[in-house]
Amino acid sequence: MLKTISKSAPRGYLRISVRYNSATATNASTNKPNASIHTHTIKTPVGIKAAIASLKPKTTRLSIEGPIECDLEGFQLLNSPIFNKGSAFTNEERQAFKLDGLLPSQINTLDEQVERAYAQFSYLKTPLAKNDFCTSMRIQNKVLYYELVRRHIREMLPIIYTPTEGDAIAAYSNRFRKPEGCFLDITDADSIDERLSVYGEDKDIDYIVVSDGEGILGIGDQGVGGIRIAIAKLGLMTLCGGIHPGRVLPVVFDVGTNNEKLLNDELYMGNKFPRVRGEEYWDFVDKFIQAVKKRFPSAVLHYEDFGVSTGRDMLYKYRETLPSFNDDIQGTGAVVMASITAGLQFTNKKLLDTKVVIYGAGSAGLGIADQIVNHMVSHGATPEYARSRIHCMDRRGLILESYEGSTPTQQLYADKDADWEGVDTKSLVEVIDKVQPTVLVGCSTQAGAFTEEVIKTMYKHNPQPMVFPLSNPTRLHEAFPVDIMKWTENNALIATGSPFQPVDGYYISENNNCFTFPGIGLGAVLSRCTTISDKMVSAAVDQLASLSPKMENPKNGLLPKLEEIDEVSAQVATAVILQSLKEGTARVESEKKPDGGFVEVPREFNKCLKWVQSQMWKPIYRPLVKVEHVPEIHTYQV
């Protein structure tokens, strides 16, 4: 039996009662799973107050089922992107919420709205115009936006993310219309907590993406425009990972810029001074970390598009303070490692026998190297052995111990000079001829670097070579799939950094980070883990690789199709949660239910998968119920 006590909620708060399900906890009298209720407050910057009026058995932290009580009306309701339905408001809702006269008389279904929106999208001629349309849709109506993109994900993903989002970020100040996200100014570092407080407290935020705008999508320093990459990344967390769009927070560090074009632009909206570095910068970052830990202790912190060394240092410095993730380092590496694992399964080769040449030893290349090492270590190798299987090249050639100016991370992968006597280490062909690698990865942004001679040398030593030209945009690819397949007689296993059409019926997989970071993030949120460990990322890799369609048909790609991203993310999240529980870092089971017991998560994979899927937010209109004020709901079970 459920009893409810209500009292008025303070203005500006969203009240949500959350029900956790445990397949292992049952009621002795009914032999049915118990449902426990957890109620908390979400403060919103737009003054929304709402509560779940109908609590159903699978209502949980991220998903919402049943009617929603709302005290907004008229234009205020239409301007709320979480609650706005546009032409889909029913007659009853239009009357109750004083919308008569504010909307055309025709009532549309969500399907009809999506059809109209897609026609409008298709009418636009340029990618940037389409990006503007999507931005406008997202800040007007979250449900319609995410359902539109979900149905057309392959076509629209390049518009709302790379490569088009890079153009939108570069033009941020000139095309600015409406502020989104949290702007933290290094000249006012003591106000960090106050600025974050606008977005709530404690359990109000599940996922934070933060950037300082220095290394945006391959276009470099974009200063305060970096807020848009945080917004875009969170959009993918919702689209692909089912994170509730009202429980995320994009943040940008406004620490100046070294982009002269921005510094000389009178319309630039960020701090107009050279980028702050050193002790002052790290003091600012530390204040941010401590403020987040205090205000949002359960949130996952995602670092995005920082500088080459900054992002790496930040991840390893704070990963034990807050559950932290860096997509440039871990996400890219994880999806590449999943492609490698799928290729090894298809060719019946062993992980620890794998040899890799990485052409391009910047942050992406070294991040890939790190994840290969972490994955090998998770499967029994020593770090030293794992690193010995990886050979990295930069613009000077193979990284050797004698090279001056190499970064500390590059030196971890440096080859011994004595092992390369008599070999031209500046020649990719000669390096491949000596190493005889299983995998060739390109992160160099040197178009055409994988020449016919390079690929044929790979093929000479390996009947089914894995070749991954990952540089973006497409014009900077090291080689094109059609050429790689021609030079290997259609025997290469290819994954690319951008989408390509099939070649002679062979599907070309895109090494898209969307296959990894949304699932890892969802798993971290639902497990309430204290840290995202290397083994949790490795579990994500193995689960993604297990979904490879290549084993079913040799002409299939190494990775699933984008249209399957919901299922992929749910399975990846499940693997991450189970690994966190195994390591003892999950806090979700320490959360008490109102009946005094604790939340329980199923340990069997398929049952845990259903638990995960039941919690993923979905773009569906919920009925709205008009109230004069939204009550604070305290629910307990007796």
Cβ pair 33, 57 in contact under 8 A: yes
For the four alpha carbons of 108, 114, 115 and 121, in that order, the dihedral sign comes to positive
Nearest Cα to Cα of residue 464 among 346, 338, 625: 346
98 given a catalytic annotation:
no
In order of 77, 194, 588, the CA distances from 62 in angstroms are 22, 26, 14
Half-sphere exposure in the Cβ direction for 267 (13 Å, CA): 9
Helix axes 227-241, 142-151, angle to 10 degrees: 70
* 283 in a known ligand binding site: no
Give me Rg for the CA atoms of the chain. 25
Among candidates 377, 358, 378, which has minimal Cα distance to 368?
Answer: 358
CA-CA distance, 560 to 567, in Å (whole number)?
10
Q: 251 in helix, strand or coil?
A: strand
E strands, 324-458, are 324-326, 356-359, 390-394, 397-398, 439-442
Please confirm, yes or no, whether 233 is among the known catalytic residues: yes
370 is in an annotated binding site: no
Q: How far apart are CA 79 and CA 181, in angstroms?
A: 17
Give the separation between CA 422 and CA 420, rounded to whole angstroms: 6
- Cα 306 from chain centroid? 15
115 annotated to a ligand binding site: no
What strands, in cross-sheet order, belong to the sheet with 182-185? 182-185, 248-254, 207-211, 300-303, 324-326
Q: Is 606 annotated as a binding residue?
A: no
Out of 146, 161, 199, 207, the active site residue is 161
User: Which residues pair with residue 391 across a beta bridge?
Assistant: 357
The span from the CA of 344 to the CA of 532, in Å, is: 26
304 labelled binding-site residue? yes
According to DSSP, residue 550 is labeled G
| CA dist., res. 459 & res. 271, Å (int) | 52
Q: Residues 233, 535, 550, 593: which is the catalytic one?
A: 233
Output the six-digit token pair for 10. Answer: 């303070």
Please report, in range form, the residues annotated as the binding site for a divalent metal cation. Answer: 304-305, 328
Residue numbers annotated as active site: 161, 233
What residues are designated binding site? Answer: 304-305, 328, 472, 512
